[in-house]
């Protein structure tokens, strides 16, 4: 999809805006309620499995809302009142900006004909899902959904804390507490406990294609067939 365009939700709701080549993933307007839509990415053959959502906490109306790629290079979602709900916040002088969805599930805004000039990518802004080879860094986090049918932000957050340890925290309306790892399993930084180490500053975790996790705090998880 090339620079520039403006798509009305009335013409594209429940239809494909961008598909990955195979097509493993689909991006488009996804109905999250009665006359309420989000711009999202989902598995093509499992449309109930969303992997990324732009405006999960502020759905747009099913009439007169638009997704536009401006001449400035900014991808913008506006609601029926022409208010900006979400944007990539990007700018470029290139006239070859394009929106591409890879078979990895990464939605990318590119500023020339190559795949290396990345203006913005959804992998840098995860919602509640980490896809294979998508890094979770010190500047990003995963936030659960309220439920399987309610995709707005929930109360569990996976993130790297100030000690550089990957943690899962419950942050409810009244109470917050560390859900994982348990304090009594915390490493003492000398290789004891569960082996988690605070002696790192890279703060990165990656899910591999087999479902395993490798984290810079020495946490590892391997799947077994």
Residues 115 and 141 in one domain: no
Domain stop point among 75, 103, 124? 124
Using CA atoms, how far apart are residues 101 and 110, in angstroms rounded to an integer?
11
Per-residue pLDDT of the chain (225 residues; tens, 9 = 90+): 555 677 778 766 555 688 999 999 999 999 999 999 999 999 999 999 999 999 999 999 988 899 999 988 999 999 999 999 999 999 998 888 899 999 999 999 998 767 778 999 999 999 999 999 999 999 999 999 999 999 999 999 999 998 889 999 999 999 999 888 876 555 554 443 456 777 777 899 999 999 999 999 888 888 776
Residues 115 and 146 in one domain: no
Using CA atoms, how far apart are residues 185 and 192, in angstroms rounded to an integer?
9
CB 66 within 8 A of CB 7: yes
Residues 139 and 120 in one domain: no
| 59 in a structural domain | yes
Domain stop point among 86, 103, 124? 124
CB 29 within 8 A of CB 10: no
Residues 161 and 101 in one domain: no
Any idea of the CA torsion for 137, 22, 43, 157, to the nearest 10 degrees? Answer: 0
Using CA atoms, how far apart are residues 147 and 149, in angstroms rounded to an integer?
5
Residue 130 CB contacts under 8 Å (≥ 6 apart), including other chains? 136, 142, 207
The DSSP letter of residue 184 is G
Confidence at residue 87, expressed as pLDDT on a 0 to 100 scale: 98
Residues 45 and 109 in one domain: yes
- 77 CA to centre of own chain: 16
Residue 181 CB contacts under 8 Å (≥ 6 apart), including other chains? 165, 167, 194, 196
The DSSP letter of residue 186 is -
Confidence at residue 190, expressed as pLDDT on a 0 to 100 scale: 46
| 21 in a structural domain | yes
Using CA atoms, how far apart are residues 31 and 59, in angstroms rounded to an integer?
9
Confidence at residue 191, expressed as pLDDT on a 0 to 100 scale: 44
CA atoms within 13 A on the CB side of 222: 3
Tally the residues of the chain.
Answer: 225
**DSSP element (H, E) containing 77:** strand 75-78
Residues 141 and 82 in one domain: no
Confidence at residue 208, expressed as pLDDT on a 0 to 100 scale: 92
Residues 9, 15, 18, CA angle at the centre, nearest 5°?
Answer: 95
Residues 141 and 114 in one domain: no
């Amino acid at each position: 999809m090339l620079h520039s365009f403006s798509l009305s939700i009335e013409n594209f709701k429940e239809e494909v805006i961008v598909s990955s080549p195979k097509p493993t993933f689909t991006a488009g307007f996804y109905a999250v309620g009665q006359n309420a839509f989000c711009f999202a990415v989902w598995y093509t053959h499992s449309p109930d499995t969303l992997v990324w959502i732009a405006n999960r906490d502020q759905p747009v109306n099913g009439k007169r809302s638009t997704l536009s790629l401006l001449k400035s290079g900014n991808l913008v979602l506006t609601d029926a009142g022409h208010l900006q709900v979400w944007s990539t916040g990007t700018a470029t002088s290139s006239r070859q900006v394009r929106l591409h969805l890879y078979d990895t599930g990464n939605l990318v805004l590119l500023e020339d004909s190559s795949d290396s000039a990345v203006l913005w990518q959804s992998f840098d802004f995860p919602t509640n899902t980490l896809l294979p080879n998508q890094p979770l860094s010190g500047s990003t986090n995963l936030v659960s959904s309220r439920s399987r049918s309610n995709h707005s932000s929930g109360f569990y957050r996976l993130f790297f804390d100030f000690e550089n340890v990957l943690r899962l925290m419950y942050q409810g309306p009244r109470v917050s507490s560390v859900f994982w790892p348990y304090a009594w399993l915390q490493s003492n930084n000398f290789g004891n406990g569960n082996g988690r180490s605070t002696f790192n500053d890279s703060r990165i975790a990656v899910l591999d294609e087999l479902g395993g996790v490798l984290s810079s705090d020495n946490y590892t998880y391997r799947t077994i067939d």
